[in-house]
Amino acid sequence: MRNTELAKLDGLIGRWTTTMSQAWFLEPPGAEVPGTTTVEWLGESLLFVRTQLGEGAHHSEMSLVVGRSDPNDAYVALYQDERGVCRQYAMTFDGVHWTLTRKDPDFHQRFIADVEKDRILGRWEASEDEGRTWRKDFDLTFERT
């Protein structure tokens, strides 16, 4: 039986065309990196998100496993990428707004997105002063295919 709180994420299931843009680290300025994202159920109580972006120097792959701590009434997400990076995020989702946040000793980070039926407009931000100020890392746009 599907976890009822995780069932609220069902609208994310599917295949998405993904675009990274407005990244401070991309050259030339204004460059966009195309990719794909697949979101699927992993059993009844986990969601698996896999994103592949670009190719060559701008190629990256990342995965996110989303679950829920029922006793804590909270979503949790584990992230990993091809660099061997592994991070834990707190997550919120109300059907319209989706956030991932982490407050780790190296830096704080957050993903903030507006969710529509066939489009998600999001951005990743980072803070190196414990969340007092934030800089945008990049925008991510997801279009359902």
SS3 99: strand
Give percent of the chain with pLDDT exceeding 90: 90
How confident is residue 18, by pLDDT bands cut at 50, 70 and 90?
very high
* Cα–Cα distance, 67 to 69 (Å, whole number): 7
Per-residue pLDDT reduced to its tens digit, 97-128: 999 999 999 999 999 999 999 999 999 999 99
CB atoms within 10 A of CB 93: 19
Mean pLDDT of the 38-44 span: 96
Residue range 30-47: mean pLDDT, rounded? 95
Tell whether the model's pLDDT for residue 81 goes beyond 70: yes
**Contact assessment for residue 63 and residue 77, using Cβ atoms and an 8 Å cutoff:** no
- 6-140: which CATH topology? Lipocalin (2.40.128)
**What is the pLDDT, as a whole number, of residue 58?**
66
Of 107, 61, 59, the closest CA to residue 84 belongs to: 61
